[in-house]
Amino acid sequence: MTESSEQNNEPRHALYWKANIKFLLMLLAFWFIASFGLGILAVDWLDQFRFLGFPLGFWIAQQGSIIAFLVIIAIYAIRMNLLDKQYGVEESDEENNDFEI
């Protein structure tokens, strides 16, 4: 790649990383609210409600945080694939076939 084409890509890569970090911070905020906020701070208030026979605060602290984390991982993977395509940095199929037998 020539120096001029690298300079042309710098603003595009900066925008890509800015979008990536912004999305990552949003997901981390959601994770913090789901795990710390609901699972620890609001557990006593949530325990007045029941979910599948268990106090809701207990359920969120035990299973809800894990489910929220798995949902965050899925959302991140899907959104990053779209962001990669938008900024032209997606992986090609040829790169994924390096380990064929």
Q: In this predicted structure, what is the pLDDT of residue 7?
A: 58
Q: Give the other-Cβ count within 10 Å of 65's Cβ.
A: 18
**Dihedral angle of Cα 66, 78, 21, 32, to the nearest 10 degrees:** -20
pLDDT at res. 89: 83
Mean pLDDT of 91-95: 66
pLDDT in tens, 7-40: 566 788 889 999 999 999 999 999 999 888 888 8
Residue 97 has pLDDT above 60, yes or no: no
Averaged pLDDT for residues 91-98: 62
Q: How far is CA 35 from CA 17, 31, 65, 67, 72, in A?
A: 26, 6, 5, 10, 12
Cβ atoms within 10 Å of 9's Cβ, excluding its own: 15
